[in-house]
Amino acid sequence: MAKIGVIGSGSWGIALASLLYNNKHEVTVWSALPDEIAEMKTTRRHHTLPELVLPDDMIFTESLEEAMTGRDILVTAVPSIYVRSTAQKMKPFCRYGQVVVNVAKGIEESTLMTLSEILEEELPMADVAVLSGPSHAEEVSRGLPTTCVAGARTRKTAEYIQGLFMHEVFRVYTSPDIQGIEIGGSLKNVIALAAGIADGLGYGDNTKAALITRGITEISRLGTAMGGKFQTFCGLSGIGDLIVTCASMHSRNRRAGILIGQGKTMEEATEEVKMVVEGVYSAKAALALSRKYQVSMPIVEQVNEVLFNGKPASEAVKDLMLRDKTIESSDLPWDN
Ligand SMILES: NC(=O)c1ccc[n+]([C@@H]2O[C@H](COP(=O)([O-])OP(=O)(O)OC[C@H]3O[C@@H](n4cnc5c(N)ncnc54)[C@H](O)[C@@H]3O)[C@@H](O)[C@H]2O)c1
Ligand SMILES: O=P(O)(O)OC[C@H](O)CO
């Protein structure tokens, strides 16, 4: 049994806290929001996952000191925009070598850093790792079979995380490619916005398949330029997460996209979805990264046009379809 601090109690933090509790670990959950802590303490429920009953001996606290002191491992589950500020508050209580597993998905717009890079910068004493893959909280909390990948600097840390999370309904693989895992996990949200927009416009399965396939091409092109491994983009945190996010009724990114495709503005759509729509934060970063690394990302470009420059979604699709003619894979040149 391990002592685990879950830092952040949105739907993903709570679903993972429940999974870890079911694996017989001692779980303490921290939230920055006093109302959220009070709600969970009194009702033993979280409003985002209303069917899930939170056990009496799961501890909820507003104190990072309480959530972190004496914990074998910390799981950071706050939305990407709060990762840096939360890490800064965690610093006084983080001990040398403490494993900190990031499960959020995003890129910091102002620095273009991944979330584990932010954690490493703010918590230089920690052993920072990631857990990612096709995993909606709504399904994990219902015990539906799910798979993820744990990425860490050492095999020992990755296997430690794998052992803590593994369950008959939650299979965990290991990987040394933290960078590839994080790029895949954050950029799939931008493509899922596009997939939702296509659904909102009333387009079909052909369109969705095109966005998923050309989307993973864009993600892996940028990701490998940034040091991620191509195989990772063919795996759970790459194509796996892209498929689930573009197809699932649970996806916040896809749902926001549907509303935008139906004519709502980005602000109206995110307001209606209520929970965090990470693709909106990662879209500008993805575009900036594509320019920095000089890789072509036409879907990412058009998503930015629709989200931030008021371009009608149907026009964005037309522009994608009528781009210059090109070869499918530049790695497959002609013999003649
Ligand atoms: N929900 C999922 O199915 C799922 C699955 C995998 C990964 N993720 C990722 O996990 C991260 C969290 O997503 P979520 O769905 O749990 O979000 P959410 O919208 O359910 O949760 C938002 C939470 O943010 C926290 N918060 C609010 N203000 C804060 C502040 N100032 N400082 C720190 N924390 C604050 C609160 O605990 C709040 O409940 C995202 O990056 C998301 O992409 C989510
Ligand atoms: O609901 P979304 O779109 O934030 O996606 C959640 C997870 O990242 C799916 O793996």
Q: How many CB atoms lie within 10 A of CB 61?
A: 16
Q: Are residues 61 and 153 in the same domain?
A: yes
Q: If DSSP codes are grouped into helix, strand and coil, which group holds residue 1?
A: coil
Q: Is 245 in the pocket of ligand 2 (CB under 6 A)?
A: yes
* Cα dihedral sign, 175-179-185-188: negative
The Å distance, Cα 319 to ligand 1 centre, comes to 34
Q: What is the pLDDT of residue 128?
A: 98
Q: Are residues 283 and 303 in the same domain?
A: yes
Q: What is the pLDDT of residue 330?
A: 85
Q: Give the Cα separation of 199 and 194 in Å (integer).
A: 9
Place of tokens 């709502």: 264
Q: Is 105 in the pocket of ligand 1 (CB under 6 A)?
A: yes
Percent of the chain having pLDDT more than 90? 98
The Å distance, Cα 79 to ligand 1 centre, comes to 4
Q: Report whether pLDDT(27) > 90.
A: yes
Q: What interface predicted TM-score (ipTM) does this complex get?
A: 0.99
Q: Report whether pLDDT(331) > 90.
A: no
- By residue count, the chain amounts to 336
Residue 297 lies in a domain: yes
- Say whether 318 is catalytic: no
Q: Is 48 in the pocket of ligand 1 (CB under 6 A)?
A: yes
Q: Is 255 in the pocket of ligand 2 (CB under 6 A)?
A: no
Q: What is the pLDDT of residue 333?
A: 83
The Å distance, Cα 48 to ligand 2 centre, comes to 14
Q: Give the Cα separation of 282 and 287 in Å (integer).
A: 9
User: Which ligand has an atom closest to residue 140 CA?
Assistant: 1
Ligand 1, atom 23: closest residue by C-alpha: 10
Q: Is 33 in the pocket of ligand 1 (CB under 6 A)?
A: yes
Ligand 1, atom 41: closest residue by C-alpha: 104
Residue 333 lies in a domain: no
The Å distance, Cα 245 to ligand 2 centre, comes to 6
CATH number at residue 32: 3.40.50.720
Q: Give the Cα separation of 65 and 274 in Å (integer).
A: 29
User: Which ligand has an atom closest to residue 11 CA?
Assistant: 1
What distance lies between CA 332 and its chain's CA centroid?
A: 32
Q: Name the active-site residue from 188, 208, 229, 284.
A: 188
Place of tokens 């210059």: 324
The domain tally of the chain equals 2
Q: What is the pLDDT of residue 243?
A: 98
CB distance 145 to 169 below 8 Å? yes
pLDDT digits (tens, 9 = 90+) for 68-81: 999 999 999 999 99
Ligand 2 atom nearest residue 189's Cα: 3
pLDDT digits (tens, 9 = 90+) for 161-184: 999 999 999 999 999 999 999 999
The Å distance, Cα 264 to ligand 2 centre, comes to 21
Q: Report whether pLDDT(37) > 90.
A: yes
Residue burial 107-125, b: 16+ Cβ < 10 Å; e: rest: bbbeeebbbbbbbbebbee
Among 273, 282, 328, 325, residue whose Cα is nearest residue 104: 282
The Å distance, Cα 189 to ligand 1 centre, comes to 14
pLDDT digits (tens, 9 = 90+) for 313-326: 999 999 999 999 99
pLDDT digits (tens, 9 = 90+) for 256-290: 999 999 999 999 999 999 999 999 999 999 999 99
In the DSSP assignment, the letter for residue 76 is: E
Q: Are residues 20 and 168 in the same domain?
A: yes
Q: What is the pLDDT of residue 150?
A: 99
Ligand 2 atom nearest residue 276's Cα: 4
Mean pLDDT of the chain: 97
Residue 332 lies in a domain: no
Q: Are residues 94 and 155 in the same domain?
A: yes
Residue 52 lies in a domain: yes
pLDDT digits (tens, 9 = 90+) for 177-223: 999 999 999 999 999 999 999 999 999 999 999 999 999 999 999 99
Ligand 1, atom 37: closest residue by C-alpha: 9
User: Which ligand has an atom closest to residue 77 CA?
Assistant: 1
Residue 255 lies in a domain: yes
Q: What is the pLDDT of residue 121?
A: 98
**Mean pLDDT across 100-128:** 98
Element housing 65 (H / E): helix 64-68
**Mean pLDDT across 21-41:** 98
- Residue ranges making up the domain that contains 67: 3-176
Q: Are residues 22 and 103 in the same domain?
A: yes
Residue 326 lies in a domain: no
